[in-house]
Structure 1
Amino acid sequence: MPPSTAPTLRQQRLGTELRKLRERAGLTSTAAAQLLGLKQAQISNIESGRYAVGADRVRTFASSYGCADPAFVDALAAMTGGRQRGWWDEYREHLPATLIDLAELEHHAVGLRVALIVHIPALLQITDHARALFKQVAPPMQQYEMEHRLAHRIKRQGVLHRENPPPYTATIHEAALRMGFGGPAVARAQLQHLIEMSELAHVTVRVIPFGADHFPSTGQSFDYVEGPVPQLDTVQLDTHHGGCGFLDAEAQLSKYRSVLDLLEPCALSPAESRDFIQRLIRDI
């Protein structure tokens, strides 16, 4: 099978983690190839995500590299099998690859934590609110592109409504709640939707009011996607050019985990947040 020219983020991440294990073992790709009975080019293609690799081979790699973390090895083995098609693949020809990767990332997540300053979380947006946002992007989208992005965003929300959904915690600043995208009627409907979603057992919505005397954030919104083990977590950053930035270095993950751990207690409790949002609805 020829190597893939467009590996998914999930395939790339598996290769990256195998490369990290090799490097921690003090092996060059050439030495690893000799140890494993492969060609150096095969090692390179596997580590770049361009070659699909099976679970048994991943376990062999991990054993040869001296990895003694069975939970981590099991998690890596579960990422094998090549590209698995999901609903997001129908958008692959219409949307940037990063948006497709984000949907797949959320699909496999065991937990989701988000922090937003001026926007409602994408997974909690109603259709009219999302449409109003897409109408404001620069440069303007073509109508067909807007509809593809809108449909993709709404389908992403299915992760919160499926059987055994991941726990989802959204910490939202009051500034985002007061944005009137789409006009008063849409703003009221969006806030009411937040209240309804926050009543689901696996969804937690917490508000940081303007009156909060501090919160540990530089104003950047981000999603923290939890993998089956902490080493496979991912941070997703929105970028001004319309795509998604993904971070997975251990130091980066540790930093953003710390930000969330400090940020969430600065917010109102879930019950207080629902009451707060309800008061905002009355003021619109």
Structure 2
Amino acid sequence: MASLLSSVRVGLRAGFSAQSRTFVSAAAQPATWTHNSLRTGVVARKKGMTAVWDEWGVRIPVTVLQIEQNQVIQVITEETHGYTALQIGSTDRSEKNVSKPVLGHFEKAGVAPKRRVVEFRVTPDAVLPVGTELVASHFVPGQFVDCSAPTMGKGFQGAMKRHGFGGQPASHGTSVTHRSLGSTGQRKDPGKVFKGKKMAGRMGGEQATVQSLKVMKVDKALNLIYVKGCVPGVDDQFIKVRDATLDVDQGDKIAPKDVLPLPFPTADPEAVKAMPRELVAKTGGADPYVMKE
């Protein structure tokens, strides 16, 4: 375990050094990451949940996300639309399943048709050329990300499951109304049910975001990122993943100070080739199994 951790730390130093965390474009000079920079996100596919263990043997539940054929399709600038953003496409699809107007949009960018297209706001210094491929090494083990996707659909559900109501008394005096939501209105005045009343109805299938999930591991060979905790959506769902925006326990928005700077605007392909296949986040701290005196 000690030799494995030492090799990982060597890979982190070699693969994510400040000199190699820039995307070198033939048309532009390498950009420098700052705390005001806003990088693009990616569109990943949720592959399920598993677990990893840190150096102390503590089990950490993680969600596995795979980045499939992410490419920049369009660059949106202040001059054309009034804001700066990148249009990212994920997962190639057959041309015969794409309408001609949409197919022309992909042909103009010189990329294969994609199953899912998402737009990410970026700062002007984080703009990438059209056709640039985004891989799992766009993220660094130890940083934090926000994951957005529609939640699992539950269909038509009652008030107890949908809103967490306690239900009626489970006694002999209650007759066939144990899971009833109870009264929904008043008497003759006003004689109606107010809008927004919590009642039975369709549950799930709504856009949700889980914020500040820690990236525990990155697998460059399979383009996998392992994030700590759960992510909304069913397996194989498209998930929008981007740098965290909320403050975290470490006192920084995106990552602890020992992880910064991030690959900017994205990982250098030559630096990715020199990295080990898997990079694991450092957990640090004291042995949790040692009793304190």
Fold match (TM-score > 0.5): no
**Relative contact order higher in (CA < 8 Å, ≥ 6 apart):** 2
TM-score range, shorter chain: under 0.3
Larger radius of gyration: 2
TM-score, normalised by the number of residues in structure 1: 0.24
Q: In proportion to residue count, which structure has more strand?
A: 2
